Amino acid sequence: MPKRRSLRMLLFVAAAAVLVFSVRFGFAEAWVDQYAWPSSEMSELPVSAAPAAVQPKTEPRPDIPLKPQAVVLSNRVTEYHISVALDDQNGSLTGEQTVTWKNPGRKSVSELYLHLYPNAFSPGSTFIKESNGQLRGDKMKQGSFGNMELTSMTTEEGETLMPRLHYVQPDDGNKNDKTLATFRLPNPVKPGSSVTLRMKFTVKLPDVFARMGKAGDFVMAGQWFPKIAVYETAGMRGRATEGWNLHQYHGNSEFFADFGIYNVRINVPASFKVAATGFQTGTPVVSGGRKSFQFYADDVHDFAWSASPNFEYVEDSFSSPGIPGVRIKLYLDPLHKDLKDRYMHAAKSALAKLGEWYGEYPYSTLSVVVPPADGNGAGGMEYPTLVTAASARDDNPGYELERTLVHEIAHQYWYGLVASNEFEEAWLDEGFTSYTEDKLMSSIYGVLPNIPIEASYLTHPEPLNQSSWRYSSSDGYAENVYLRGKLVLSSLERQVGDKTMSKILRTYFQNYKFKHPSSSDFQKVVETVTKTKWTDFFQAYVQQGQMTDFAIDSINTRKAEDGEYESVVLLRRNGGSPQSVSIWFMFEDGQSVRKKWDGTQTHVQLQLKSSTPLVYAAIDPSLNVVLDNRRYNNYLQSEVPKEERTRFATGITQLIEGLFGTMAW
């Protein structure tokens, strides 16, 4: 009994210490009630203290506060407390932040690095040079530049660090690129210790382009604050020694950051509605024609927000197996206000499937922003607990509405929770998400991908585990990271079966959520689940830019002395890793024979005897080899002279039947 009392006293003292410490960061209110409503009660509890019997029915509002959960899911390396104000007249942000960084390594750290992403929109930046002012079909408007200026940076004691700040360009040496900066700390940060810095900054928003900017009254703030780079520990993603992971903002690449806590106050004109990562911890405060929103998110690696006075707001609560309870919040462009049921159905259905297939969605909100037509550059993007759908270009879109939305929601798992390094191995996010998108569209809407046609688009395959800016072009990046990455997973699925593939992906998600895995980590999971080595597969398709090319190389048929026909068929595997493939032989009398080749050798000769001549041979007639992008050599006739033999693709009819599906980024 005395031991229990002592333990209770220690717990009480610890809780009191946390509460007192949190006051300095403005967290006192958030910690008053640490627990959110259980999912089973979310749809039943009233939103105010008024009795249910007399509670008037009102439209849902985006400003109903929630409270943080008292569960730590990640290592929480960073902690941001940010206050930002939007000047809607000149399209600028003014902000200040207090950020705490904890050293996760085993060595003292003397320098910190900051990503200043808005400088990608400045003249001469690496991003503009590499993209030529174009991304995903959008063009940067002439003269519509943006930038970030860090106006103040001090220690907790008030010592200025601005004279120490300088820009670095580790990837290309472009001195005009200011998207990555570094500075030396007054005192090294010891392992397990932390440092707290105070910063002030301004951001000039470009016209909406590449996930960022303004379009009329619409604002998309993505990658908008000074963000500390990732310090990788030894062993992380196969790293031999610990150190900073440092890259500029490139034309193709997206982002990489540590998990942490975000406490963000956003000040906008009073007429604006705000969608943001996380949830509100208090009712918005209106003063002097302005409105301040307070948002909180933990165990996330980024924070984004969007604002507009024109949003049509819709919300609903949702729970299912794997989804304990989520408030789904729609911020619709007025043109799509009558499509709210389609958006809500897609969001609920996608979450339900993801929770069932991979595991729990651990957050209490999911916000969906639909940009206006002139804000297309903000559409189709993922952030923790917030996604942007395709822009509202017409009032009756086809399945691209659902496809884009389920793709971005799938990102909540592979980008948001698994959080691989998009600078260096983007396929682990985009390829996995595109694969999952196909699964969702098939399961929910019965829309199936045309894989043979998609494979035929792969004209310039490149390695998947290379840095995003190393691809030959933006088209090459998209072709490989999105499409080929997806097809690599589809090929794996065909070889191991649906059930085993589901187990592989669930195991991978469960083992590596919040841990920033690598391609080799995924390979380990595949080998553990299948109890088979997959070295050849990963070397060919991930580490090298290979495709599979099975071919009927030649057919030689002659009539033997006994009156029967002898045929020698030469099969080849030109690239790719070994896998079993079927061959179909058709004879003049209408008889057919099917055989299997294990594909282990690069070539093999098959000998057949028959009563009538062999007419033709076809390899992989059922189109089971996903990564074969040269099907014109899968068929060969034998009765015509060698110099007149014609080849044609066994999948030619699919060219007429199917169109390449839209890919959401």
Domain of 182: which CATH number? Answer: 2.60.40
Annotated catalytic residues are 408, 482
Give the C-alpha separation, 482 to 660, whole Å: 13
| CA–CA distance, 154 with 201 (Å, rounded to integer) | 12
Beta bridge partners of 575: none
The answer as to whether 158 is a domain residue is: yes
| Structure confidence at residue 70 (pLDDT) | 67
Q: Count of domains in the chain?
A: 2
The predicted pLDDT at position 17 comes to 47
Give the list of residues 6+ apart from residue 198 with CB closer than 8 angstroms, or none.
Answer: 96, 97, 98, 152, 153, 154, 155, 156
Question: What 3-state DSSP class applies to 452?
Answer: helix
Say if 370 falls within a structural domain. Answer: no
Question: Could you tell me which residues come within 8 angstroms of residue 428 by beta carbon, excluding any fewer than 6 positions away?
Answer: 414, 418, 420, 421, 517, 518, 519, 522
In a domain, 571, yes or no: yes
Residue 423 to residue 439: CA distance in whole angstroms: 26
Domain span including residue 607: 549-640
In a domain, 180, yes or no: yes
* Cα dihedral sign, 598-604-610-614: positive
pLDDT of 646: 44
In a domain, 534, yes or no: no
- Both ends of the chain: CA-CA distance in Å? 59
What pLDDT is attached to residue 122? Answer: 96
| The pLDDT of residue 68 | 60
3-state secondary structure of 426: coil
Q: Which of 258, 291, 322 is the last residue of a domain?
A: 258
Let me know if residue 424 belongs to a domain. no
What pLDDT digit, counting tens, does each position of 134-155 carry?
A: 887 788 888 889 999 999 999 9
Tokens of 542: 């991930």
> Which residues of the chain are modeled with pLDDT < 70?
1-61, 66-70, 639-665
In-domain check, residue 318: no
Annotated binding site: 407, 411, 430
Q: Is residue 465 part of a domain?
A: no
| Maximum Cα–Cα distance across the chain | 103
Predicted local confidence at residue 35, as pLDDT = 27
| Residue 130 structure tokens | 């590499």
Domain end residue (candidates: 258, 287, 304): 258
Binding residues for Zn(2+): 407, 411, 430
